[in-house]
Structure 1
Amino acid sequence: MARADNQYVCQSCGSVHAKWAGRCDDCGSWNTLIEEVASAPVGTAAKSKKAGRRGRLELVTLDGDGGELPRHQSRIAEFDRVCGGGIVPGSALLVGGDPGIGKSTLLLQAVANLANNDVSTIYVSGEEAVDQVRRRARRLGLADAPVALAAETNLENILDGLKSEKPQIAVIDSIQTLWTDQLAAAPGTVAQVRACAQELVRFAKKSGCAIVLVGHVTKDGQIAGPRVVEHMVDGVLYFEGERSHQFRILRAVKNRFGPTDEIGVFEMGEAGLQEVENPSALFLNDRGNQTPGAAVFAGMEGTRPVLTEIQALVAASPLGTPRRTVVGWDSGRLSMVLAVLEARCGLSFGGRDVYLNVAGGLKIGEPAADVAVAAAIISSALNAPLPVDAVVFGEMSLSGDIRAVGRSEARLKEAAKLGFLQALAPLSASEGNPPVSVRGLGGVADLVATISAWQLED
């Protein structure tokens, strides 16, 4: 029988190395190589044994029965929205987020609502004792919910319990604390996380029990462990937010049963997480009067239009290399916008610091925010405030043209619903009968001219 050699596995990317090194050659992380016992090679006897169990591959056609997927609804509208309408039986979800952001609180509220709706649920905690979870449930007013609770980290014991109880939904908090006695590696290592996740996902597919896994995140905001875990599961949800702010955002980055990039907004309070039905009003709640450097961006988060304020400050820099500080947006895209404004509009930012912030801690990734960012920067540079009843959106090209973006009608309807009367948008948004007055922009020069005209009117 062949001998099983030890190997060194990077805990950040999962790459395997023959010997230890201080730095991973694949991802560049330092001090992440951990020694693990490699699986022994499969011998001839094992191969022949497996060969005897081989079955014939069954092929089917694409025109089979495929009705609407059944779903378990938690009656938390924001959570169900991100999941695509509810949790699908037999699916596997992975929920990640920073420590203390509220992952356990949200899932405890969800399973309590499901249990009160006659859905059998089990909550397995590997990080907290049973009494700690009970105290949280009492604080949230969920102590009477018929949720089966356990504190366990051994995978075999958890699977035995799930097979005997046959729940419809099981929450495992968290996947990094589990371990299987089939491996000699420590809990939280790449091998243990991969093996435990694989067994739980296989159990979900065979039994029809929906499994929700909680995952830790690294300092870069990625879920800790091998990326193969994210490929195994049916959905990956990130719970985002700043602990200094009262609201949290649940974002779907992968969903086999619903749209991706969908968000749910929650507000953290003494009674737990409360869903926010109108996030646009929340993000614009503290918005004051006309202020230079502030622009309201009409964006899309999944299928939902969300309005948020983008703030910019352009100030003289005492440094040889001016600062470019960005919060909530891509710093590389800010450099592109500044370059276009300098090359196409004659504005100079060489001796000025530029600070950009998305109000409320929201993170924006769509290109439609280009024009809103440019409007905020121009407003601050010219000391010309934008009207309080105006929203801005559009994508900017390197030639200075402003291109059309998707779902313009939904963006304008959301703006009209919140009392906005006008919009700076691409020319295509002014076609038809928009719900607000649209000033069509063909290029960034039109944007600068419009803001300058508003300044003269004031």
Structure 2
Amino acid sequence: MPKPTVSYICSACAAVHKKWSGRCDACGEWNSITEEAPLSAGPTKKSLGADRGRAIALKDLATEETPPQRTKSGLSELDLVLGGGLVPASALLVGGDPGIGKSTLLLQAAASFARAGLSCVYVSGEEASAQVRMRAQRLGLSDAPVKLATETNLRDILTTLDKERPELAIIDSIQTMWADNVDSAPGSVSQVRAAAHELTTFAKRTGTAVVLVGHVTKEGQIAGPRVVEHMVDTVLYFEGERGHQFRILRAVKNRFGPADEIGVFEMTGRGLSEVTNPSALFLSERDKPAPGSAVFAGIEGTRPVLTEIQALVAPSPLGTPRRTVVGLDSGRLSTTLAVLEARCGIPFAGLDVFLNVAGGMRVTEPAADLAVAAALLSAREDVALPPDTVVFGEISLSGALRPVGQTENRLKEAQKLGFSHAIAPSRAKAGGQTGITLRHMTDLTGFVGDIFGAG
């Protein structure tokens, strides 16, 4: 192991000496030489060594700084997810399934920002310029002052961006970028990490907002090393089912705004159109009351959203009954079924269970537990819930119902769409007048007995 290098520095003139002495040869000061250990004394040659850096200016927590200036795109749903608009010098990562509409969304966003006065550059590494122009013509964006390029060489892209100095640069996609200083194929872990690092550094150095498009894996995670998500300031997922026209832009990380915020879009022949009232859209296909259907009043980020949870329970011809879930966590379904059987004495053995969130929405909050239980019981007993009722609440393993946050916002959204009754845990706090009759439940056993007459 190499011996760490120790230097001796004069505190008066900062002269460096190889060994200690009582008097500095440079300035003549006595007893001013002190021993300085290296910054890193690791066993490898890759340690920082004895070279010292500059001192960093430190500030206290009370220091006031001007918040970043945001630029609105004109697409209210996109601005909502970004936290109020685009922040200069920010790095954003947008992921989604192939063909879900990432390129369409970003082309529309680039056109909106360009029309708002920002200089925008769109670099495509997957499509030819003619393909991008054809999409722009179909979407009616040909008149937008967006500069277009098709290139995969990262060095050439950075040189061009450094020359143009745009306020917004979109790279589609990060998996196609190739850095000539990395000895691996495009799309590999090394290439993706190096390209993301170079582009993020460029954004911080020049003040250009950089948007990176990322592919996703079969599990729905952005492909490549997870360190890319740590590098950028904002990570957005563009979600949706191929069979539905709804698309959801979800923020899973945002250093400049709230995480878990969503923006809802509808895919049309003219591109993506904004949905300002997603609750009405997700409930638009509800007709007369049917067994197995429950309306859940949820919260996505800061926005209340009403969705329909559908369940189907049927006898299973198989030895192991099927459990099929779309739009919800399968683990939550298993837990709810276990609590219904253990605490309420309602078995689901020998029954196939199918659970779905209508409209392609994905629900992640535990407040949907009570709505899931209501849909399951409604399907099993073949009894329809009242059509003017919303349900929300978390179910504990003991069968007790736990309160959830933002009860008042949930009830106001339900009242806006014509609902007059709500079922919620007994400790749910609803301050103010919401115009909805709130029915409190203490545990799952009481809920089953009061609503379905069993327990």
Q: TM-score, normalized by length of structure 1? A: 0.87
1:312 partner amino acid: A
Q: How does 1:142-221 map to 2 (within 5 A)?
A: 142-221=141-220
- 1:423 alignment partner, SS class: strand
* CA 1:102–1:55: 2 relative to 1, 3 Å: same
- 1:428 alignment partner, SS class: coil
* CA 1:198–1:437: 2 relative to 1, 3 Å: same
Q: How many angstroms does 1:315 deviate by?
A: 1.2
1:152-204: CA deviation from partner (whole Å, max 9, x where unpaired): 11111111111111111100000000011111111110001001100110111
**1:322 maps to 2:284:** no
2:452 partner amino acid: S
Identify the residue that residue 347 of structure 1 maps to in structure 2. 346
Identify the residue that residue 443 of structure 2 maps to in structure 1. 443
1:106 partner amino acid: L
Which moves more between the two structures, 323-332 or 223-232?
A: 323-332
Rounded to whole Å, the distance in 2 between the matches of 1:77 and 1:333 is 33
Contact 2:415 2:434 in 1 (8 A): no
Identify the residue that residue 8 of structure 1 maps to in structure 2. none
**1:78 maps to 2:77:** yes
Q: How many angstroms does 1:52 deviate by?
A: 5.9
1:337-392: CA deviation from partner (whole Å, max 9, x where unpaired): 11111112111111211111111111111000000000011111111100111000
Contact 2:121 2:168 in 1 (8 A): yes
Rounded to whole Å, the distance in 2 between the matches of 1:132 and 1:51 is 54
Aligned pair count reads 411
Rounded to whole Å, the distance in 2 between the matches of 1:285 and 1:332 is 28
Q: How many angstroms does 1:43 deviate by?
A: 9.5
Identify the residue that residue 132 of structure 1 maps to in structure 2. 131
Q: How many angstroms does 1:51 deviate by?
A: 6.3
2:106 partner amino acid: L
1:329 partner amino acid: L
* CA 1:156–1:53: 2 relative to 1, 3 Å: farther
Q: How many angstroms does 1:278 deviate by?
A: 0.4
Q: TM-score, normalized by length of structure 2? A: 0.87
2:117 partner amino acid: D
- 2:428 alignment partner, SS class: helix
1:425 partner amino acid: A
1:220 partner amino acid: E
1:268-295: CA deviation from partner (whole Å, max 9, x where unpaired): 0111000100000110000121111100
Which moves more between the two structures, 265-274 or 341-350?
A: 341-350
Rounded to whole Å, the distance in 1 between the matches of 2:359 and 2:112 is 29
Contact 2:123 2:171 in 1 (8 A): yes
1:407-451: CA deviation from partner (whole Å, max 9, x where unpaired): 010000000000001011111336554420011010111211222
2:304 partner amino acid: P
1:438 partner amino acid: L
Q: How does 1:302-321 map to 2 (within 5 A)?
A: 302-321=301-320
Q: How many angstroms does 1:206 deviate by?
A: 1.0
1:325 partner amino acid: T
Contact 1:310 1:358 in 2 (8 A): yes
Rounded to whole Å, the distance in 2 between the matches of 1:403 and 1:55 is 53
Contact 1:101 1:241 in 2 (8 A): yes
Q: How many angstroms does 1:132 deviate by?
A: 1.0
Identify the residue that residue 254 of structure 1 maps to in structure 2. 253
Identify the residue that residue 409 of structure 1 maps to in structure 2. 408
Which moves more between the two structures, 78-87 or 345-354?
A: 345-354
Rounded to whole Å, the distance in 1 between the matches of 2:245 and 2:434 is 34
- 1:429 alignment partner, SS class: coil
Q: How many angstroms does 1:69 deviate by?
A: 1.9
1:101 partner amino acid: I
Identify the residue that residue 64 of structure 2 maps to in structure 1. 65
Rounded to whole Å, the distance in 1 between the matches of 2:111 and 2:263 is 19
Rounded to whole Å, the distance in 1 between the matches of 2:226 and 2:117 is 35
* CA 1:290–1:47: 2 relative to 1, 3 Å: closer
Rounded to whole Å, the distance in 1 between the matches of 2:143 and 2:434 is 50
* CA 1:430–1:82: 2 relative to 1, 3 Å: closer
**1:56 maps to 2:72:** no
Rounded to whole Å, the distance in 2 between the matches of 1:51 and 1:181 is 31
RMSD: 1.8
1:42-78: CA deviation from partner (whole Å, max 9, x where unpaired): 997x989x96683333333333331232112111010
Contact 1:187 1:193 in 2 (8 A): yes
- Computing the radius of gyration from Cα coordinates, the structure with the larger value is 2
Identify the residue that residue 39 of structure 1 maps to in structure 2. none
Rounded to whole Å, the distance in 2 between the matches of 1:207 and 1:53 is 26
Which moves more between the two structures, 338-347 or 423-432?
A: 423-432
Rounded to whole Å, the distance in 2 between the matches of 1:253 and 1:108 is 22
Identify the residue that residue 100 of structure 2 maps to in structure 1. 101
Rounded to whole Å, the distance in 1 between the matches of 2:326 and 2:311 is 10
Rounded to whole Å, the distance in 1 between the matches of 2:235 and 2:56 is 30
Contact 2:407 2:430 in 1 (8 A): no
Rounded to whole Å, the distance in 1 between the matches of 2:229 and 2:204 is 16
